[in-house]
Chain A
Amino acid sequence: MGAFLRRRFLAVIPLVLLTTSLVFSLVLLLPGDPAVALVGLENVTEERLAAIRERMGLNRPLYVQYGLWLARAARGDLGTSLRTGQPVIEALRDRLPVTLGLAIAATAFGLLLGFPLAVGAASKRGGFMGGCASGIAAFGVAVPNFWLGSMLVLALALHLRWLPATGYASPLEAPWDGLRHAILPTLTLGASAVAEITRQLRSALQDTLNTDYVRTARAKGIAERGVIWKHALRNALIPMITVSGLTISRLVGATVVVESIFALPGLGLLNLESVLTRDFPMLQGAVLVMVLIVIAVNLVSDIVYGWVDPRIRLS
């Protein structure tokens, strides 16, 4: 396991370097002077621009600029927002828990609904559950989440008045209010997770149910429920570790839309605000954190996969 861990961690280093260099390069795509983009047109004076160029090393070769930016980022200095003047790292620290909470809640919802649907559909092919699972999986993958969110707001908040349409309440400070505010965003974001988990688990379980050891278990007279829950599901669940990791990564990206619909003060909304106001230091910071979350989640799921399945860590 030690060699496997070392291999996985070593593989992450070039990936982090490449992704951070891409995040850094975003400023280079800008037309005109990057220093102007980094301080904004409103505050621009020749002295200020010269100071920014000097401080950020914009007069130096690109690889030096990247090295300086990376070194500052590693120390937690991602610059200050052009819009609010707030240090980027502080804004990220405030917004991160909202996005992580939402992504985790949506994944949990996906597992909670996708799991029984997939098991039901795989154990009785072509039945009612199979039809439901296929329908939900097709719908969840195809539905635009901004539309699903709008429809849920219309039905459950504006017409029935069961839930608040927008806003955020911390579940730690006001648990009941926090829960009510979290339901619609979780349903909106979780729809695609339900679809993905149902599709993948159903397929993995169907494959496992056709293996020799499951046939042997059936031949020994074990009841179908025991065959599925005690024998088949254990092996079918292994690929779900990777699927869950990929699902969380995908959901982190989708939070941009969901947070903007429900006015949730998370990283996704911060990302959108930074794009619309061309607040590049903030945009770089928000994108960087999202990418690092994705890399970390994938690393953890790889390690857990290797820990559960020795074939992976020995290959």
Chain B
Amino acid sequence: MAGSIPASAFPEVLRAARRFGRSRTASAGACFLVALLGAAALAPIVGRWDPLRQNLSDALAAPSEHHLLGTDDLGRDVLSRLLYGARLSLAAACLAVAIAALSGIPVGLVAGYTGGRLDDLLMRLVDAVQAFPALVLAMAIAAALGPGLGNVMVAVGVVYMPRFARLVRGQTLALREELFVEGARAAGASHGRILLRHILPNVSAPIIVQVSVSIAFALLAETSLSFLGIGIKPPTPSWGADVGRGYRFMRLAPWLVFMPGLAILLTTLAFNFLGDGLRDALDPKHARKEDSS
């Protein structure tokens, strides 16, 4: 039955998992992300200190036994802020991508399936959004809606919506001529049912890849906005805002900039590697090449 995974699909899932496991970078990326999510979830235990607790007598202390990654200008523990910041930065990036996917996928499905003037109109709108430099559009939307985490997530989500719309439209255009779609149409299935039960499951693999890569970009966008003072506001721990605050004390306490920046770099790298690995594992052409070798 369309829409549910048939029993014969399980060996294919296992083959994809095996292909994914063969990629060292993808496996390393996945392991890093699991460790990061675990550390963020266990932040109260791993971090030892309250990320908001100020102790001016300990301000700008270098990394030591007490504070493994040092303290900031208000004596707050950098490691605790990194772990709590991971929760917020990752959640913001994931929610922004969810907004992008939930708005972009229906646009792509409808445009690709209907074609004609509606397709033209929707794609011109997508082109128009894509003509804006991503960070500039996100800043402008965040400025208009007002500062705050929620508005930043909406802004970043709008910016990355075209990626999903374009991807899904391209796939849908190819799939709408396939025999199984013709068959569903002949059996009297409604357009909505064809889109949701027959086409959407078949475009899920590239969407999964796109989600992984987009989270990396959304994380960069969110941390950039927070660095510039538009996103997450202090004293809430946030990787981007903490780099921005640490920049002022960089000569005295370089760890304030180095640590959160390194966390962003490694997490972005991990999501990119994960995306590459998923692409290789789920792309049938690549899969066939690998299996025959």
CB-CB nearest in chain B for A268:
B136
Question: Is A138 touching B133 in the complex (CB atoms < 8 A)?
Answer: no
Closest A residue by C-beta to B145: A29
Which residues of chain B come closer than 8 Å to A253, judged between CB atoms?
A: 132-136
Residue of B whose beta carbon sits closest to that of A145: B224
Given contacts A253-B134, A291-B131, contact A144 B264 (CB under 8 A): yes
List A contacts of B125 (CB < 8 A). Answer: 18
Task: Tell me, yes or no, whether A263 is within 8 Å of chain B by CB.
Answer: no
B91 at the interface (CB under 8 A from A): no
In the assembled complex, the Cα of A178 lies from the Cα of B46 at a distance in Å of: 48
Q: Which residues of A contact B128 (CB under 8 A)?
A: 15, 18-19, 22
Distance from B130 Cβ to chain A, minimum over Cβ atoms (Å): 9
A142 and B265: CB pair below 8 A?
yes
Q: What 1/0 flags go to B98-136 for Cβ under 8 Å of A?
A: 000000000000000000000000001101110111111
Given contacts A151-B258, A257-B228, A278-B143, contact A271 B136 (CB under 8 A): yes
Contact indicator A150/B243 (Cβ below 8 Å):
yes
Q: Which of B124, B243, B247, B272 contacts A14 (CB 8 A)?
A: B124
What is the total number of residues of chain A having a CB less than 8 Å from a CB of chain B? 46
- Tell yes or no: A275 within 8 A of B by CB: yes
> Binding site of B, secondary structure by majority: helix, strand, loop or mixed?
helix
Q: Is A287 an interface residue (CB 8 A)?
A: yes
A22 & B254 in contact (Cβ 8 Å cutoff)? no
**Is B261 touching A151 in the complex (CB atoms < 8 A)?**
yes
C-alpha gap A145/B140 in the complex (Å): 20
Alpha-carbon gap, A174 to B151, bound state (A): 43
In the bound assembly, the distance between CA atoms of A271 and B133 in angstroms comes to 12
Q: With both chains docked as a complex, state the minimum distance between the C-beta of A26 and any C-beta of chain B, in angstroms.
A: 5
Across the interface, do A272 and B139 meet the contact criterion of CB distance under 8 Å?
A: yes
CA distance A18 to B124 in the complex (A): 8
Chain B contact patch, size range: 35 or more
Write the A134-168 contact mask toward B (1 if CB under 8 angstroms, else 0): 00001101111111001101100010000000000
How distant is B13 from chain A, measured CB to nearest CB, in Å?
Answer: 27
Per-residue CB contact flags for chain B residues 211-240 toward chain A (1 = under 8 Å, else 0) read 000001000100110011110000000001
Taking the complex as formed, is A249 at the interface, i.e. its CB lies under 8 A from any CB of chain B?
A: yes
Q: Which residues of A contact B247 (CB under 8 A)?
A: 150, 261
Q: Smallest Cβ distance from B151 to chain A, in angstroms?
A: 10
For residue B140, which residues in chain A have a CB less than 8 angstroms away from its CB? Answer: 26, 275, 283, 287
Q: Tell me whether B264 and A154 are in contact (CB under 8 A).
A: no
User: Cα distance A144–B239 when bound, in Å?
Assistant: 11
Q: State how many angstroms separate the Cβ of B159 from the closest Cβ of chain A.
A: 10
Quick one: given A22-B128, A144-B265, are A290 and B136 in contact (CB under 8 Å)? yes
Residues of A within 8 A of B175 (CB): none
Q: Tell me the A197-222 residues at the B interface (CB within 8 Å).
A: none
Whether B171 sits at the interface, judged by CB under 8 Å, is no
Q: How far is the CB of B200 from chain A (nearest CB, A)?
A: 28
CA distance A138 to B276 in the complex (A): 11
**In the complex the two chains form, is B224's CB within 8 Å of A257's CB?**
yes
User: In the bound complex, how far is the Cα of B240 from the Cα of A150, in angstroms?
Assistant: 12
> Is the pair A271, B269 in contact by a Cβ cutoff of 8 Å?
no
User: Is B143 touching A147 in the complex (CB atoms < 8 A)?
Assistant: no
Contact (Cβ within 8 A) B268 A158: no
Give min CB distance, B81 to chain A, whole Å.
Answer: 16
Q: Let me know if B203 is at the binding interface, CB within 8 A.
A: no
- C-alpha spacing A271/B137, complex, angstroms: 11
Contact yes or no, A158 B250, CB < 8 A:
yes
With a cutoff of 8 Å between Cβ atoms, the chain A residues found around residue B137 in the complex are 287
When distances are taken between beta carbons in the complex, the residues of chain B under 8 Å from A154 are 250-251, 254, 257
Residues of chain B lying within 8 A (CB to CB) of residue A30: 144
Of chain B, the residue at the smallest CB distance from A29 is B144
The 6 sampled A-B contact pairs (Cβ below 8 Å) are A15-B128, A26-B140, A142-B265, A146-B224, A146-B261, A154-B250
6 smallest A-B Cβ distances: which pairs?
A: A253-B133, A147-B261, A18-B128, A29-B144, A142-B268, A275-B143
- A residues touching B (Cβ–Cβ < 8 Å)? 14-15, 18-19, 22, 26-27, 29-31, 138-139, 141-147, 150-151, 153-154, 158, 249-250, 252-254, 256-257, 260-261, 271-272, 274-276, 278, 283, 287, 290-291, 294-295, 298
B-side interface residues toward A, CB under 8 Å? 124-125, 127-129, 131-137, 139-146, 216, 220, 223-224, 227-230, 240, 243-244, 247, 250-251, 254, 257-258, 261-262, 264-265, 268-269, 272-273
